[in-house]
Amino acid sequence: TPLAAITGAVTTLQRSDEAPLHADQRAEQLDTIGQEAARLNRFVTNLLEMSRIDQGVVKVRRDWVDVGDAIRLAVERTRKTHPGRQTRVSLAPDLGFVRGDQDLLSQVVFNLLDNAHKYGETEVSVHARNEGDQVTISVTDDGPGVKPADLERIFEKFFRAGGTDRRKPGTGLGLSICRGLVRAMGGTIKAESPAIRRRGTRLIVRLPLAELPKEEEAR
């Protein structure tokens, strides 16, 4: 757990007077503390967000949201959280707007990307395009995939997909939060597996397109 790793690193640093650490060893322990503190922060954030969703107190603004901007913010955050992992981005040039909350939409995409990087092996891709009267956002990983019986259950609170390949660190809340936030914005979310070459999982979010007022289009 994050707390165990943080405690271990702090204890090692505290004992460095007895057994001096090299500069690279000290830097490694500090890096561990930073990474695990960030992971603990994500856990607590997810727990609080899930609590708000359960209590029905999530307030979704009905602003004009540039879907492309929300995705780019999520990708930038993901690259900091998963350095060294590849995230491919493909956004349609005519990608539309939705009515909702840009921060919440960005959080949804980040949770999907974070989940995909945990279970993927080499790279994760995010695509967005207009489909009829909806905007479709898909996040795909190249991991072992999800059993057909679990495709709906992965959105349940605290559910962790069976099999050792998918027992990754986490709270089992990320996708449940995504479903709650997407529904609050009037959209849907589902999972497909396999996604590519009999492997991987694809998470698909669909949100209703919103027509910009003429004064907004003119800007």
128-148 confidence digits (pLDDT tens): 999 999 999 999 999 999 999
List pLDDT tens digits, range 47-95: 777 777 777 767 777 889 999 999 999 999 898 888 888 999 999 999 9
More confident of the two residues 107 and 1: 107
Q: Quick one: tokens of 73?
A: 């913010």
Q: Are 182 and 203 in contact (CB under 8 A)?
A: no
- Asked whether the predicted pLDDT for residue 193 surpasses 50, the reply is yes
pTM, two decimals, is 0.75
Over residues 169-183, mean pLDDT:
80
Angstrom distance (rounded) from CA 210 to CA 182: 15
Q: What are the Cα distances from residue 43, in Å, to 158, 169, 215?
A: 12, 10, 42
Q: Are 82 and 117 in contact (CB under 8 A)?
A: yes
pLDDT, residue 165, reads 44
At 215, the pLDDT band (50, 70, 90 cuts) reads: low
- Asked whether the predicted pLDDT for residue 158 surpasses 90, the reply is no
Buried b vs exposed e over 30-56: b needs ≥16 C-beta within 10 Å? eebbebbeebeebbeebeebbeebeee
- Say which amino acid occupies 85: R
